[in-house]
Amino acid sequence: MSSRDDILASVRANRPRVDRPLPTVPMFDGGKPASLLAAFKDNLHRMGGVFLDPPATGDPLAPLRAKIADAKIVCSTVPEIAGNRDIASLGKPRDLADVDFAIVRASFGVAETGSVLLSDADLRVNAVAYLAQHLIVLLDPADIVVNLQHAYRRPEFRDRHYASFHTGPSATADIEGVLIHGAQGVRSLSVLPLARATGNITH
Amino acid sequence: MRSNGIHVHWARDAAEHNHIVHGILSDHGARSLIKSKSMLTEECGFRPYMASVGIEVIETDLGERIQQLDNEDPSHVVVPAVHKLRTDVAEVFAKTIGTDPANSEVHYLAEAQREATRPLILAADAGMTGGNFAVAETGTFVVCTNEGNADLSANVPKLHIASIGIEKIIPRLEHLAVFVRLLSRSALGSPVTQYTSHFRGPREGGEMHIVLVDNGRSERLGMEEFWTSLKCIRCGACMNTCPVYRRSGGLSYGATYSGPIGLIIDPTFNQRKYSNLPFASTLNGSCSNVCPVKINIHEQIYAWRRVLAERHESSLAKRVEMKAAGELLSRPAAYRAAIAAADVALAHLPRFVIYNGLNAWGKHREVPHPPQQTFHSWYQANRGGK
């Protein structure tokens, strides 16, 4: 017998005799916050992320431009802003090791946790979100769901090969419980609320 | 998983797991492997095996890396180096990655480790992760980290191998939402881990393998009193609350899994070797109280004592002691006389009588000072007449 058959036979033989049908899982969305964006912002902040407040008037990308003003290497996967490292012509993921800022758009955000979901389609090369020193994420406020229960109903979890919730930057407290940002991945995560472009893309 | 392009392997036990992973690495000519933290690979003795076949394994979790560089097992399932002070880490890093031995500033140490590990990540031939959950409905496996090191391990090298215990499989995505919440809340008190990554298939140009490991799990499923320990999501909450764990630390258990959950899991691997572990508990029940998946840990600890005693897995000395204690404790007058005599004896006996091979308690420490009088005699003297 193959190992697979052995293991499955053993599981069948040892299955506990309990009659427990699958429970119906509620959506846990009773106390929905008045503003999903405000709740998202609070929770993102709690997890060490930075929320870039959009300016009242003028260039909505101004806070982003200020962030990357001194950066040497910027890799962007979004049409709203151009970088100077083209992700499409990349040889290997490790070629992204010298990127200072990566700019991507999230599939959606989660108000409950302050998370953004980045899929392989959003990232183009998955490693860019971990090898870059800093990560800036564009998020359409219309793309925020209330909680994880709603999040897992999104199509990305059935369509994409890779999808990751990012909640703040890379963090560790492995030495004496002292919180450090930038353990192995990005040192900072900033989220800029910005509606998805619908045609008029300016570079 | 197969229809999504993942190569699926099955391993009955630790040896088969290690053999399978070695085979995959050999097929690709891989000599170095970066990996994220996985209790399953600890359970399988994976790193020593890889060392024996000449493949370099680099742990990328900070705590696990500290333990690897110090040649020590992890002492906690979530925080592997929790028992070390910053000065201990400074000492380990000074010896291994060339930091300043006099500088034990935590930011400096973490940064030095990041800089030392980054080139190893970039140069590695293959990456390995564990899996916190696997979803039957979609063929997805999920890895939760705070450092992002699992995503580096999975997404930088071309080859990604994930080792997953068969008990990690849950039915549907809607259930995943519940478990993802439970894990981080119970582990660290945060609403979610910094990174919760879902792998459903290889990336373009990449290759993905998963090894589903039994290693005693299916057999444990048939143990009526103990099968619910398979619900464990390795959050570590039982350790954090346990008075014994908090005093003794994880390494003192001498087994892969420490703390209360270790007491009930370790004997399933080797009853003789771990026969003492279920006795390292006060049965206060705090572990069961905090367990997010409602495992009746302290009741199982008690049940293991009974099983081990019935199977005579406890040592002869313990059995003789327990029999004597049973006799004594069933007769209050005899017990009181014995306690009073022992207090007097402890105060006056020469050291060699107290500290000898028969008194395991006195091997590495002083026995406590005997009290002037027993509680019973104090009570009789002060409150007895009322």
DSSP assignment string, B89-115:
HHHHHHHHT---TT---HHHHHHHHHH
Residues of B in contact with A104 (CB under 8 A): none
pLDDT at B116 over 60: yes
For residue B178, the number of C-alpha atoms closer than 13 Å in the C-beta half-sphere is 15
pLDDT reported for residue B314: 67
Residue B132 parent element (H or E): none
Cite the DSSP H helix spans in B233-373.
Answer: 237-241, 243-248, 259-269, 286-290, 297-310, 316-329, 332-348, 351-354
pLDDT reported for residue B232: 98
pLDDT reported for residue B95: 96
pLDDT at A107 over 90: yes
Distances (CA, A) of B249 to A176, B50, B258, B268, B295: 14, 27, 8, 21, 22
pLDDT reported for residue B340: 79
* Averaged pLDDT of chain B: 93
- Domain identity same for B169 and B298: no
- Domain identity same for B79 and B226: no
pLDDT reported for residue B386: 62
Q: How far is A60 from chain B (nearest CA, A)?
A: 27
pLDDT (average), residues B91-112: 96
Considering the domain boundaries, does residue B374 fall inside one?
yes
pLDDT at A35 over 90: yes
Cross-chain Cβ contact B219/A15 below 8 Å: no
- Domain identity same for B46 and B115: yes
Q: How far is A31 from chain B (nearest CA, A)?
A: 16
pLDDT at A200 over 70: no
Which residue in B has a C-alpha nearest to residue A97's C-alpha?
B122
**Rg, Å, chain B Cα set:** 25
Which residue in A has a C-alpha nearest to residue B227's C-alpha?
A16
- Domain identity same for B205 and B271: no
Which residue in B has a C-alpha nearest to residue A164's C-alpha?
B197
Confidence of residue A121 (pLDDT cuts 50, 70, 90): very high
pLDDT at B348 over 80: no
- Here the CATH number for the domain that contains residue B293 is 1.10.1060.10
pLDDT reported for residue A201: 46
Give the global pTM.
0.90
Q: What is the pLDDT of residues A135-153, one digit of tens each?
A: 999 999 999 999 999 999 9
Q: Which of A89-93, A105-109, A197-201, B160-164 has the lowest mean pLDDT?
A: A197-201
Q: Which domain holds residue B163?
A: 2-213
Q: What is the pLDDT of residues B224-254, one digit of tens each?
A: 999 999 999 999 999 999 999 999 999 999 9
pLDDT reported for residue B208: 98
Q: Strand B169-170's sheet: what is its strand order?
A: A144-145, A108-110, A115-119, A162-166, B195-199, B140-145, B133-135, B169-170
Q: Count up the domains in chain B and report the number.
A: 3
| CB-based contacts of B25, cutoff 8 Å, min separation 6 | B33, B55, B125, B126, B159, B161
pLDDT reported for residue A199: 52
Residues of B in contact with A46 (CB under 8 A): 191
- Domain identity same for B117 and B15: yes
pLDDT reported for residue A202: 45
pLDDT reported for residue A203: 40
pLDDT reported for residue B125: 98
pLDDT reported for residue A91: 84
Question: How far is the C-alpha of B265 from the C-alpha of B263, rounded, in Å?
Answer: 6
The helices-and-strands tally (H runs, E runs) of chain A is 7, 11
Task: Tally C-beta pairs within 8 A across A and B.
Answer: 203
Share of chain B above pLDDT 90, in %: 79
Q: How far is A140 from chain B (nearest CA, A)?
A: 21
Block residue for tokens 């229960």 = A149
- The residue out of B183, B213, B243 marking a domain boundary is B213
Cross-chain Cβ contact B60/A176 below 8 Å: no
Question: How far is the C-alpha of B325 from the C-alpha of B346, rounded, in Å?
Answer: 18
**Rg, Å, chain A Cα set:** 20
Q: Which of A43, A172, A180, A191 would best serve as a mutation to test chain B binding (most B beta carbons within 10 A)?
A: A172
Considering the domain boundaries, does residue B174 fall inside one?
yes
Block residue for tokens 């109903």 = A153
pLDDT at A166 over 80: yes
Considering the domain boundaries, does residue B318 fall inside one?
no
Cross-chain Cβ contact B202/A161 below 8 Å: yes
Cross-chain Cβ contact A7/B12 below 8 Å: yes
pLDDT reported for residue B329: 84
Which residue in A has a C-alpha nearest to residue B108's C-alpha?
A180
Cross-chain Cβ contact A7/B218 below 8 Å: yes
Q: Are B200 and B43 in contact (CB under 8 A)?
A: no
pLDDT at B219 over 90: yes
pLDDT (average), residues A98-110: 98
pLDDT reported for residue B327: 82
Residues of A in contact with B198 (CB under 8 A): 157, 160, 162-164
- Domain identity same for B17 and B105: yes
Token pair belonging to B41: 């690979």
Q: What is the DSSP letter of B241?
A: H
Query: Considering CB atoms only, which of A3, A10, A171 is closest to B11?
Result: A3
What's the CA angle centered on B236, arms B61 and A29, to 5 degrees?
Answer: 100
pLDDT (average), residues A53-63: 94
Architecture of domain A36-52+59-168+179-193: 3-Layer(aba) Sandwich (3.40)
pLDDT (average), residues A116-141: 98
Query: Considering CB atoms only, which of B5, B81, B194 is closest to A171?
Result: B194
pLDDT reported for residue B332: 84
